[in-house]
Structure 1
């Protein structure tokens, strides 16, 4: 259980929420909603104990399982299986058991005796932590999230970003924590895994708070909705499911509007009467009291909710370039003995639109990193054509310098742009005032997405490499991205699980990984998008 009392949260000087109080008890499945940048991720970090509120208290009873938008996986040389088992400490017990087994085969009797005693104690600890049943449970969760045995037996360093995120989600679900805090848990999941996750969360016996732009997950799972209103710095709590919440919120908005209109009318009448009475000295005190009542009346009502702002995204005309600004031939990439793909050829002509499809781990992100020049292929080469100006959007936001401010990141992307124009562009992406001085590392996933897109806008790129550009975006911001894709005149290479993003791109070609097969786009490939 998590209990919150009198909590105030800030992002620098900006007030995110004030005097907030609520509980997340066993059986509560809370959907935390609100526009990007409203403070959802900041709140979950505070609830998880990863940061402190500006005021107030957070009390936790029982373990908390926290999946942030950018999961930290720790040691990348750990096997995927061991990372999941570490949620209950089983990884170290199993490793120590294997060591003891080896020592029990020693020719030294003293070593054997000591090892046998150690094995007995470890075996009891293994049983106490769930034993083989727990191992089986972990394997079942991993399989349901699209993690086959071959992936679990690999080091995290050899896995794609999507596979590592699935490992972390499996680890947190396996932990058996009394409260789960999940920030965009469906990112990088295929359609079957999302269906399984919905069913799993619907019956989770502990408390749950989830941030998700997957409306179906919210509809099917949550029984409470917390709406974080960025305009009023408050959380509106609704003890009901998603669809009743939407109806009730509209009702509340109409009620607030009526109350404000009535209060403003009454206050205007009182102030008018007070102004008349002030003319007579004998009624000055009464006039003052009447004016005070009018002010109190206005202060006691909530302001009408201002429509949430949305980043305005429009890609400018791309820089001139030759007929084929980017090409690649014979590309192959391996991690140790694990072959990702071999002999991939790709020519990106001016204004062409290509979608890259493949299951998680097929090398989609790896290919984009090779094309962007961030990694070197094992074989083959990437050749820039005449006038190439490349823009790369990384799904893990690796292109952002997390130590530098929002403004400095923008300056690095467009050094010739003066500060006034740079701030103007940032303002259109909802970064204003002191927000531009925040380090990029403290931004939420949605804010990092907005900053990365803003950097693309000022780059005047003629080839965009986009890796899951709609992840972490609220529906309104996602629509802005899709609209910008539809009208962009340059070339695009897109990796996405989002069927709407692929439809907006209107691709001409598809590249299938890991085989490297290229084909003209047709609707037969549509069903592969959500499986990618």
Structure 2
């Protein structure tokens, strides 16, 4: 159970939300929606206890499972399975069992007796926590999220960013928490995993608050919608399912517009009449009363919801380059005995469009990092061609220095621009005023996406490496990114689960990992996109 009282949320000096109160109890399934940057992630962090409000309070009873947009995975040497089991403390119990089993083979009789006692205690503790059925439950949840047994036996450091995020989601779902707070849980999930997650959350009996741009998930799971209105700094509560919310919200917007139009018309009439009467001394008091009445009419209205602003994203003309600005030969990558891919060759011609497909964990992000020069291959090499200017968009936002401000990150990306031009560019990506001085670490996922895209735009790159560029974006912002991809004149190498992004790219070639098979694009490959 969560109880929020008189909450005020700020980002620096900017007011995001004021005087907000609500509860999340068993059976409440709340979709938290609003445009990127409205404050959804900030509010969720506060509710989860990861951040402090400007004022107000949050009371938490019972365990909470919180999945942030950028999950922390703990010790990277931990096995994926143990990270999930740790949600119920089972990792340590199983470790004690394994150690006791080893000691039971000792030649020392006293040591064997102590080991058997330790085994019995650990076994009793395991049974109290659900026994081996709980371990099977964890494996079942992980498998449904695209984490097979071989992945569960690997250290976290060997997993891709998408796999680590799914480990964290599996850990939260396995935790038996009474309340779940999930921020974009479908990121990095394939179509089958998303379908399973919808069913799981629909049957969940605890409290749920979820931020998601996946309307299918919201439609299948939520029975309440909280709309965070960035223009009014208010939380509009709709105690209804998703479809009814969409209809009701449109009705509310029409009502607000109609009320404002009527009030403005009456106020205009009153002010016009007051102006006429004010010229006569005998009617000055009546005129003042009319003017005050007009002011009250306007002041009493709810502010009309302004059209949500969207960053205008247009990649500039690419810098001149040679015929083949980037090539890669015989690339391979392994983590210990685990071979990710081997013998990958790739040539990126000027203006070409290439999409990289493959199952999660096949090495798509790793390959992009190699092409960007951020990760060395085990074998082979990446060769820059004449005039190459690379722009890399990382799904985990690694290109952003979280220790620097928004403005400082942009200056680093475009050192040749003066501060006025940098601020103007940031303004087009909806960073203005004090927003540009915010440390990047406090930005929401959507805001980090906007900053990373802004840094990409000023790079004048002729080869763009894009890793899941539409994650964390609301529909309007996603449409802007797709339009930018569609109109860009340089070369693009794209990794995505988003079918719309591939349609916008209109790829001429496809590279399938881990085999490294390169082929001309055909619609037959489309079914691999959401499985990737």
CA distance in 2, matches of 1:365, 1:62: 38
Please state whether the residue corresponding to 2:458 is helix, strand or coil. helix
Give the corresponding residue for 1:411.
411
Question: What is the deviation of 1:259?
Answer: 1.5
**1:172 and 2:172 correspond:** yes
**1:529 and 2:529 correspond:** yes
Give the corresponding residue for 1:63.
63
CA distance in 1, matches of 2:71, 2:118: 35
Give the corresponding residue for 1:46.
46
Question: What is the deviation of 1:263?
Answer: 2.2
Give the corresponding residue for 2:365.
365
**1:207 and 2:207 correspond:** yes
CA distance in 2, matches of 1:276, 1:460: 60
**1:93 and 2:93 correspond:** yes
Deviation digits for residues 25-74 of structure 1 (CA, Å, limit 9, x no counterpart): 11111111111000010011011100011011111111111111111001
Question: What is the deviation of 1:273?
Answer: 5.2
CA distance in 2, matches of 1:109, 1:292: 96
Give the corresponding residue for 1:78.
78
CA distance in 2, matches of 1:481, 1:18: 32
Please state whether the residue corresponding to 2:199 is helix, strand or coil. helix
Give the corresponding residue for 1:149.
149
CA distance in 1, matches of 2:300, 2:86: 52
Please show how residues 103-502 of structure 1 align to structure 2 within 5 Å. Answer: 103-272=103-272, 288-502=288-502
Please state whether the residue corresponding to 1:459 is helix, strand or coil. coil
Question: What is the deviation of 1:281?
Answer: 6.7
What's the TM-score, normalizing by structure 2?
0.97
CA distance in 1, matches of 2:71, 2:201: 19
**1:3 and 2:34 correspond:** no
CA distance in 2, matches of 1:466, 1:489: 15
Question: What is the deviation of 1:269?
Answer: 4.2
| Cα distance change, pair 285–63 in 1 and its aligned pair in 2 (3 A) | farther
Question: What is the deviation of 1:274?
Answer: 5.0
Question: What is the deviation of 1:109?
Answer: 3.4
Please state whether the residue corresponding to 1:52 is helix, strand or coil. coil
Question: What is the deviation of 1:284?
Answer: 6.0
Deviation digits for residues 440-466 of structure 1 (CA, Å, limit 9, x no counterpart): 111111111111111110000000000
Q: CA RMSD in A?
A: 1.5
Q: Indicate the larger mover: 410-419 or 123-132.
A: 123-132
Give the corresponding residue for 2:32.
32
Question: What is the deviation of 1:222?
Answer: 1.1
Question: What is the deviation of 1:504?
Answer: 0.5
Question: What is the deviation of 1:5?
Answer: 1.2
Question: What is the deviation of 1:3?
Answer: 1.2
Q: Indicate the larger mover: 385-394 or 55-64.
A: 55-64
Deviation digits for residues 362-418 of structure 1 (CA, Å, limit 9, x no counterpart): 000000010000011111010000000000000000111000011111111110011
Task: In structure 1, list runs of 5 or more residues that go unmatched.
Answer: none
Please state whether the residue corresponding to 1:10 is helix, strand or coil. strand
Question: What is the deviation of 1:288?
Answer: 4.9
What's the TM-score, normalizing by structure 1?
0.97
Question: What is the deviation of 1:107?
Answer: 3.0
CA distance in 1, matches of 2:488, 2:266: 52
Please state whether the residue corresponding to 2:127 is helix, strand or coil. helix
CA distance in 2, matches of 1:385, 1:40: 43
Question: What is the deviation of 1:241?
Answer: 1.1
Deviation digits for residues 480-507 of structure 1 (CA, Å, limit 9, x no counterpart): 1111111111011000000000010000
Q: Indicate the larger mover: 257-266 or 285-294.
A: 285-294
Q: Indicate the larger mover: 515-524 or 101-110.
A: 101-110
Please state whether the residue corresponding to 2:371 is helix, strand or coil. helix
CA distance in 2, matches of 1:267, 1:490: 54
